[in-house]
Chains A and B, each alone.
Chain A
Amino acid sequence: MNQIPESARRRMQAQTAGDHPDADLLAAFAEHTLAGNERERVLSHLAACTTCREVVSLAMPEQSDAEVVAPAAHAWFRWPMLRWTAVAATVVVVWAAVSVLAPRKQNQEVAAPVVESVPAAKTAEAPVLQGSVEKKETPPPNSEKKFAARDESRQRADSAVAANQPKTQALPSVAESRNAQMADKVTAAEQPAKPLEAESAKTKAMKVQGAKEENARKDALTLDAAASKGAVSGGIAGGVVRENVAVTAQAAPAAPPPATQNEAVNVKRQTAPLGGLRAGAPMVLSKAGRVEEGAVRWRVSSTGAVERSSDGKSWVKVEIDPGATFRALSSNGGDLWAGGTGGALFHSADAGRSWSRVKVGDEGMWVTDAITAVDFPSPRNGFVTTASGAIWATQDAGRTWQRRQ
């Protein structure tokens, strides 16, 4: 465990607390029945008052075995662990790509005069088609026409390269489309960004061919990674987008794309309409392939209302139940649970857009005490604590409850 700076320890000890809260407030705090502003004020006092912290600690009821809250299940699948797993996977993928592609690129440059353009085109096409097969798992409408148009355009470009003719009109269009792909996939240093007119036709052909081969190999790598690991994050922007497309393309059919030469790029940037997302809302493709609507924060206000904020400064009240005064909130991604007075427990599985009332209890005996703490480490497993000290746990997203204490 990290240590706080000694200066912070010294200044915390030097803080002066105001008037002490009375025994009623301390008892209510210890029983988790204080809410909102009152709880904040007591906490603020406790943060500065060693004596009251000691009193609260002494006044806590003795802990029974049943009171020990079960630890969060599936700790390995929580975001802090997933974050580092994603980073590690990204490093492995990038390292593998670099280690595989770099020697081949060098070999190509060294043996450039020997490489025949036609066989090279064939070897480049094979992995690309392999990647296309991956995307065809959920074939969108007009997919055959789309791929036929793409193959036709590529054949035209390849034939131009194979003929080794300086067709400056045709080659830039191929190179531009490839450059657009490269911007998504490889670093700027690897992109053939210079105008083709400044170089000889053979050199141009080699560069285009090299870029094709790189793209093809990257297609295979990223698609293999996505297929084997599911949502694996990418360290470079291209990797992130591509993997997300690989996931979303399987989830829902894509809209009919225009059959142009840049179709491959368009396919990559298509995002299938995901369930629950607001139309026109700014979507963020996170590193783990998770779709978020910005960084939404949640809190329970001093008046017992559930509020959300996208910037941490302005908070908007979320209407759940006008009759309920909320005291606790649990947020796990888009899975939200809010508990309050009268045993009110509400659940939202779509980031707060719709809420449903969940009854806590067993065998027809429903909890009517205020719910003072809610903790759902995963969407299915969680527990709530009531004002009377009872702890109820569920393992099926609130359908059934078991009393722990």
Chain B
Amino acid sequence: MALQKKSPAPVGFAIWYDSPVLSMGGTQASGPRAILAGLESLVGELYERSGAARYDLPRADFVAALEQVVRKYVSDAGDPRRTSEFLAGLRVEELALARACAAGNEKAWEEFLTRYRERLFDSARAITKDDATGRELADSLYADLYGTNTRDGQRVSKLASYYGRGSLEGWLRSVLAQEFVNRYRSHRRTVSLEEKEEDGVQFAAAPVEPQTSADPRLDAATDAALASLGAEERYILASYFLDGRTLAEIARTLGVHESTISRKVEKFTAALRKKTLDELAARGMSRRQAQEALDADVRDLRVDVRARLAQDTAAAPFLESKRRKQ
């Protein structure tokens, strides 16, 4: 049950609308129905637990959905123990509801609307920070969820791309957030010149040149130092220093207290600096040279030089006239 793109997705977002093959960690199964072989009792238990029968979702469709999820996320799907552990962690009840909605079951839709209608609007308003925009965003998502587009004569619902890894509500929020970012970016790309002038922007800014260090060893050392950090460490540093997120926001995404993030930011910053200095020293710099290279920024140098030149040229006539007076 693969979904197709219903609208041209911005570059880099294709995977959110794609077929299962492109997902992270996903692999194609070796053969049909081979993945769940030997797990019939577990599958039966999951089918009962999901309540799929309430929505008239046949067991075969439910099993097909499970196979699709396993193919997508379990790299070693041939291992029955690993597969059963993975299946046990799925939100099968919400998966069955989503698949039943995608299949057009009215009872499932009633259940879905009862559970998620208000939450969807609330989430959209929270994301857009605007009531009207939020409602517009939620309505557009409803259209996608219901499946206004057809392929090969069949209605294609976005709910069929829910795989039960997180909660259905969390998935809806993620899809809303993606859609919002998509629209925001595409909107920014299609702003007319008139609108720019209204905003006080008459000339487009020159494209930013890729900044490179004067000494290539600094970039190499920085890359090596960053590579030595763990994924969570880089995520925390990027969220804090690049995105400007607060400690509390980062803490919520990682499920820890913000004081923990505060300590980690301090620690990782010091570790990154020390590691960069070590890498610079390993590349032949003395400790003092490494410190200077790390503290100096090529952009600062450029600005300083320009400012200094401007000051010198401006000051010269004044000094000359002053001398004449004396």
Residues of A within 8 A of B (CB): 1-15, 19-34, 37-38, 40-48, 50-51, 53-63, 69-72, 75, 80, 325, 328, 341, 370, 372-373, 375, 377, 385, 388
**Are A7 and B294 neighbours in the complex by a CB distance under 8 Å?**
yes
Max chain A C-beta neighbours (<10 A), residue from B165, B237, B276:
B165
Of the candidates A14, A23, A38, A388, the one whose C-beta lies within 8 Å of that of B171 is: A23
**Are B226 and A8 neighbours in the complex by a CB distance under 8 Å?**
yes
**Are B256 and A55 neighbours in the complex by a CB distance under 8 Å?**
no
Q: When chains A and B are docked, how far (Å) is the Cα of A70 from the Cα of B85? A: 33
A61 CB contacts on chain B under 8 angstroms: 169-170, 173
- The segment from B17-25, B197-205, B302-310 found at the interface with A is B17-25
**Are B255 and A372 neighbours in the complex by a CB distance under 8 Å?**
yes
**Are B177 and A59 neighbours in the complex by a CB distance under 8 Å?**
yes
Between-chain CB contacts (< 8 Å), 10 pairs: A1-B269, A3-B241, A4-B241, A7-B213, A32-B255, A44-B234, A46-B235, A59-B174, A63-B252, A69-B256
Q: When chains A and B are docked, how far (Å) is the Cα of A92 from the Cα of B301? A: 45
Residues of B within 8 A of A (CB): 12-13, 15-16, 18, 22-25, 73, 85, 88-89, 122, 126-127, 161-167, 169-171, 173-178, 180-181, 210-211, 213, 218-219, 222-223, 225-226, 231-232, 234-235, 237-239, 241-243, 245, 249, 251-257, 259-260, 262-263, 265-266, 269-270, 272-273, 276, 294-295, 297, 299-300
Of the candidates B18, B171, B294, the one whose C-beta lies within 8 Å of that of A27 is: B171
A375 CB contacts on chain B under 8 angstroms: 256-257, 260
Max chain B C-beta neighbours (<10 A), residue from A1, A23, A55:
A23
Q: Are A12 and B242 also in contact (CB < 8 A) when A33-B165, A43-B235, A61-B173 are?
A: yes
**Are A55 and B219 neighbours in the complex by a CB distance under 8 Å?**
no
Q: Are A80 and B253 also in contact (CB < 8 A) when A24-B165, A27-B166 are?
A: no
Closest to B250 in A: A57
**Are B294 and A11 neighbours in the complex by a CB distance under 8 Å?**
no
Closest to B177 in A: A58
**Are B235 and A23 neighbours in the complex by a CB distance under 8 Å?**
no
Of the candidates B243, B253, B265, the one whose C-beta lies within 8 Å of that of A60 is: B253
Q: When chains A and B are docked, how far (Å) is the Cα of A325 from the Cα of B88? A: 11
Interface residues of chain B: helix, strand, loop or mixed (majority): helix
B253 CB contacts on chain A under 8 angstroms: 29-30, 56-57, 60
B252 CB contacts on chain A under 8 angstroms: 60, 63
Q: When chains A and B are docked, how far (Å) is the Cα of A8 from the Cα of B22? A: 31
**Are A11 and B173 neighbours in the complex by a CB distance under 8 Å?**
no
**Are B269 and A3 neighbours in the complex by a CB distance under 8 Å?**
yes
**Are A24 and B257 neighbours in the complex by a CB distance under 8 Å?**
no
Interface residues of chain A: helix, strand, loop or mixed (majority): helix
**Are B166 and A24 neighbours in the complex by a CB distance under 8 Å?**
yes
Taking A2-B265, A23-B161, A58-B181 as known contacts, 18 extra A-B pairs with beta carbons closer than 8 A to each other, sorted by chain A number, are A1-B266, A4-B273, A7-B222, A8-B272, A19-B22, A21-B24, A22-B163, A23-B174, A24-B162, A24-B166, A29-B166, A41-B24, A47-B238, A51-B13, A53-B245, A69-B257, A71-B259, A75-B259
Closest to B128 in A: A58
**Are B231 and A43 neighbours in the complex by a CB distance under 8 Å?**
yes
B304 vs chain A, min Cβ distance (A): 14
Q: Are A2 and B266 also in contact (CB < 8 A) when A27-B171, A28-B166, A31-B166 are?
A: yes
B12 CB contacts on chain A under 8 angstroms: 20, 51
**Are A47 and B273 neighbours in the complex by a CB distance under 8 Å?**
no
**Are A7 and B218 neighbours in the complex by a CB distance under 8 Å?**
yes
Of the candidates A28, A57, A80, the one whose C-beta lies within 8 Å of that of B245 is: A57
Q: When chains A and B are docked, how far (Å) is the Cα of A15 from the Cα of B231? A: 13
Max chain B C-beta neighbours (<10 A), residue from A5, A57, A80, A388:
A5
Q: When chains A and B are docked, how far (Å) is the Cα of A11 from the Cα of B294? A: 13
Q: Are A55 and B238 also in contact (CB < 8 A) when A1-B266, A2-B270, A25-B24 are?
A: no
**Are B237 and A11 neighbours in the complex by a CB distance under 8 Å?**
no
Q: When chains A and B are docked, how far (Å) is the Cα of A208 from the Cα of B162? A: 84
Of the candidates B24, B126, B173, B234, the one whose C-beta lies within 8 Å of that of A47 is: B234
**Are B161 and A7 neighbours in the complex by a CB distance under 8 Å?**
no
Q: When chains A and B are docked, how far (Å) is the Cα of A21 from the Cα of B20? A: 11
Q: When chains A and B are docked, how far (Å) is the Cα of A9 from the Cα of B223? A: 11
B222 CB contacts on chain A under 8 angstroms: 5, 7-8, 10-11
A42 CB contacts on chain B under 8 angstroms: 24
B256 CB contacts on chain A under 8 angstroms: 69, 373, 375
Closest to A63 in B: B252
**Are B265 and A1 neighbours in the complex by a CB distance under 8 Å?**
yes
**Are B237 and A20 neighbours in the complex by a CB distance under 8 Å?**
no
**Are A59 and B176 neighbours in the complex by a CB distance under 8 Å?**
yes
**Are B219 and A11 neighbours in the complex by a CB distance under 8 Å?**
yes
Closest to B185 in A: A51
B125 vs chain A, min Cβ distance (A): 10
B261 vs chain A, min Cβ distance (A): 11
**Are B162 and A50 neighbours in the complex by a CB distance under 8 Å?**
no
Of the candidates A1, A60, A370, A377, the one whose C-beta lies within 8 Å of that of B89 is: A370
Q: Are A47 and B231 also in contact (CB < 8 A) when A22-B16, A58-B180 are?
A: yes
A25 CB contacts on chain B under 8 angstroms: 23-24, 165-166
Q: Are A55 and B178 also in contact (CB < 8 A) when A9-B241, A25-B165 are?
A: yes
A72 CB contacts on chain B under 8 angstroms: 257, 259-260
Closest to B249 in A: A57
> What are the 10 closest A-B residue pairs judged by CB atoms, nearest first?
A27-B166, A47-B234, A27-B170, A373-B255, A58-B177, A28-B166, A43-B231, A6-B297, A44-B231, A23-B174
Q: When chains A and B are docked, how far (Å) is the Cα of A320 from the Cα of B294? A: 46
A177 vs chain B, min Cβ distance (A): 44
A11 CB contacts on chain B under 8 angstroms: 219, 222-223, 226
B276 vs chain A, min Cβ distance (A): 6
B223 vs chain A, min Cβ distance (A): 6
Of the candidates B126, B167, B239, B263, the one whose C-beta lies within 8 Å of that of A31 is: B167
